Amino acid sequence: MLARHNGHRMTDPIATLTKLLEPIFSEMNGGDPADPVVRPSDRADAQINGALALAKKVGANPRDLAESVTESAALTDVASSLEVAGPGFINVEFSQPFLESLLAEVANDDRLGVAAATDLKTVVIDYSAPNVAKEMHVGHLRSTVIGDSLVRMMECLGHQVIRENHIGDWGRPFGMLIEHLLDLGEDVASSGLSQGDLDSFYKEANAKFAESETFQERARQRVVLLQGGDEETLVLWRRLVDMSNAYFNSVYSTLGVLLTDDDLAGESRYQPLMEGVYQRLDDAGLLSEDDGAMVVYPDGFKNRDGDPLPMIAKSRTGAFMYATSDLACVVDRVERLGADLMLYVVGSPQANHLEMVFSVCAKAGWLVEPTEAVHVGFGNVLGADGKMMRSRAGDSVKLADLLDEAIERAEAAIAEKNPELAADQRAKVAEMVGIGALKYFDLSTDRIKDYQFDWDRMLAFEGSTGPYLQYAHARICSVFRRADIERASVRQVPIALIEPQERALALRLLAYPTAITASLGTYAPHKLCTYVYELASDFSSFYQECPILKSKEPVRSSRLALADLTARVLAHSLGLLGIAAPEEM
């Protein structure tokens, strides 16, 4: 009765039901596969909807088909009740021993029922991408946090993940930045940058560039030296990059993301590759001259006059453009790294640009199925006024300030709600809660949409928030502390599903693997967020209605085991979102 998948027993009852039904539906469809369409239901544990679609296809009565499903013996081991309803829906109630055996399996599994993917891939994920000598802002928050979660989910399913942080470490602005660095003197500049005062450094350089023609000239000369590989200039450039990286790393550390120096893959890395890529475009006969520039015309793109829209490979002045750099990047990822899948966690405004890049790569034969490049786009962070979030001065908000404020606000809330927590413990928890709240708030809405930033809702301890999820986890840990029982000691204890809240919680726990694959299916972390919230919510109902420690054995142990398993899934799923699960808060 038990389907196996990649060495793992399939522990999602819905998926198991689907597997058991497939032969029956196939048979009713004259031997061709037909989807049984099994879904969770609010009228039963699950509903089978496939009879309706199939009935239309084979010209049968849907209720008759449904009846023949309920009369077959295939589901006797898993279902305690099958009922045809309405035009041909089948309501399913899972049998208690079936659910209990699945639960025992999951409790005994370090992976909590999550099987590795069957088609393991090499996945390159491009995310974060701050600019050297500039502040990180809210836009980088989204890319960094979404990318980090996708990395964790992909790795969890066994894919080989290569993180790439495509930092802005090359280009024309570096002429003025290096000249400004020289003006300041290295000591001043390095201490300023190490404090994260990148904003003023960049702005000062920019202001000088705007005001002084001599400075402009110096900057231009410096760009020529930089691109020519002048040693002294490269040393200065390197210094700027290193100082910025140290700053980025401090932000990543506070944010708790996986990025390290090993993941750096800045624009500068692709400079030496662009000439070769350009030659290959030429050899393939894809280049045309237009108004002095060398361009490629990807199919299906038009400009505002309705004429074909070119992707510029080399400018009129003979310089390579960012599009060429992105082409080199794809080539490198496919040919050197062996990428099967490339994810670009980049804001929605770049959609058109990336489509053109991917299209040119396909045309040039560098991006051929099944190799795939996907733009994982995301919307803006908006302020309370519904417009792009800005500081009071009208600038973009510094990410570092945002993180600090999140932690401060969390600490204040914890001090108020749980004054008994020791101060050093409180500081640790405040970081987990503040950063977790910020990440959850960002991850929990559909990434493609803009979202409205709101401290009060983010850090509220009620509703679909990070703190609420963490609280559910902390409560479970607290139960075990109070009873002085090792969590691991209850993992072999059979779980009995008696009360409706226990049953609902069990069904949710068993749906965990499906929640991950669904979330990753569209690179949408918010789907996993929804799952974790529902899990925490189901636990809270259970906790309210089903006393744990006050119950008599064997109920007490069974509930402890259920609580332990819930805490494990909570911690694991929060982990996939990059959110910590404190044991106390």
**According to CB under 7 A, which residues from 434 to 493 bind RNA?**
444-446, 448-452, 454, 457, 460-464, 467-468, 471, 474-475, 477-479, 482
**Residue 44 found at the interface with RNA (CB under 7 A):** yes
Pick the closest to residue 84 from 110, 47, 111 (CA basis): 47
**Residue 546 found at the interface with RNA (CB under 7 A):** yes
On the 0-12 / 13-18 / 19+ scale of CB atoms within 10 A, 30 is exposed
Residue whose tokens read 């793992």: 8
Q: Which is nearer to RNA, 235 or 351 (CB)?
A: 351
What distance in Å separates the CA atoms of residue 244 and residue 107, rounded to the nearest whole number?
A: 45
Q: Which of 74, 184, 207, 293 binds RNA (CB under 7 A)?
A: 293
Contact 577, 439 (CB under 8 A): yes
**Cβ 448 to RNA, closest distance in Å?**
5
Residue whose tokens read 């003979």: 318
What distance in Å separates the CA atoms of residue 295 and residue 310, rounded to the nearest whole number?
A: 6
What distance in Å separates the CA atoms of residue 146 and residue 445, rounded to the nearest whole number?
A: 11
Strands 381-382 and 372-376: unpaired
Q: Which of 246, 287, 518, 555 binds RNA (CB under 7 A)?
A: 518
Q: Which of 290, 335, 395, 408 binds RNA (CB under 7 A)?
A: 290
Give the footprint of RNA on residues 68-107 (CB under 7 A).
85-87, 89, 91
Pick the closest to residue 145 from 376, 364, 422, 331 (CA basis): 376
Q: Which is nearer to RNA, 161 or 459 (CB)?
A: 459
Pick the closest to residue 47 from 81, 5, 3 (CA basis): 81
Q: At what angle do helices 555-576 and 525-545 cross, to 10 degrees?
A: 160
Q: Which is nearer to RNA, 436 or 578 (CB)?
A: 436
Question: Residues touching RNA: how many (CB under 7 A)?
Answer: 101
Q: Which is nearer to RNA, 14 or 400 (CB)?
A: 14
Q: Which two tokens stand for residue 45?
A: 């544990």
Question: 3-state SS string over 395-441?
Answer: CCCEHHHHHHHHHHHHHHHHHHHCCCCCHHHHHHHHHHHHHHHHHHH
**Residue 317 found at the interface with RNA (CB under 7 A):** yes
- Whole-number Cα distances in Å, 146 to 390, 486, 529: 21, 35, 12
What distance in Å separates the CA atoms of residue 255 and residue 579, rounded to the nearest whole number?
A: 9
Task: Report which residue type is found at 179.
Answer: E
Stretch that binds RNA, among 103-111, 133-141, 220-228, 317-325 (CB under 7 A): 317-325
**Cβ 476 to RNA, closest distance in Å?**
9
Q: Which is nearer to RNA, 161 or 166 (CB)?
A: 166
Q: Which of 95, 144, 149, 325 binds RNA (CB under 7 A)?
A: 325
**Cβ 137 to RNA, closest distance in Å?**
14
Q: Which of 10, 17, 20, 47 binds RNA (CB under 7 A)?
A: 47
**Residue 425 found at the interface with RNA (CB under 7 A):** no
**Cβ 515 to RNA, closest distance in Å?**
9
**Residue 184 found at the interface with RNA (CB under 7 A):** no
Q: Which is nearer to RNA, 18 or 101 (CB)?
A: 18
Task: Report which residue type is found at 41.
Answer: S
Stretch that binds RNA, among 93-101, 224-232, 490-498, 527-535 (CB under 7 A): 527-535
Q: Which of 291, 424, 484, 486 binds RNA (CB under 7 A)?
A: 291
Give the footprint of RNA on residues 381-400 (CB under 7 A).
386
Site string for RNA, 566-585 (x = CB under 7 A): ------------------xx
185: left (phi over 0), alpha (psi -120 to 50) or beta: left
**Residue 49 found at the interface with RNA (CB under 7 A):** yes
**Cβ 474 to RNA, closest distance in Å?**
4
**Cβ 171 to RNA, closest distance in Å?**
4
Q: Which of 73, 228, 304, 424 binds RNA (CB under 7 A)?
A: 304
Q: Which is nearer to RNA, 181 or 474 (CB)?
A: 474
The H or E element spanning position 342 is: strand 341-345
**Residue 122 found at the interface with RNA (CB under 7 A):** no
**Residue 413 found at the interface with RNA (CB under 7 A):** yes
Give the footprint of RNA on residues 235-254 (CB under 7 A).
none
Q: Which of 122, 160, 227, 315 binds RNA (CB under 7 A)?
A: 315
* Per-residue burial over 547-577, b = 16 or more CB atoms within 10 Å of its CB, e = otherwise: ebeeeeeebbbbbbbbbbbbbbbbbbbbebb
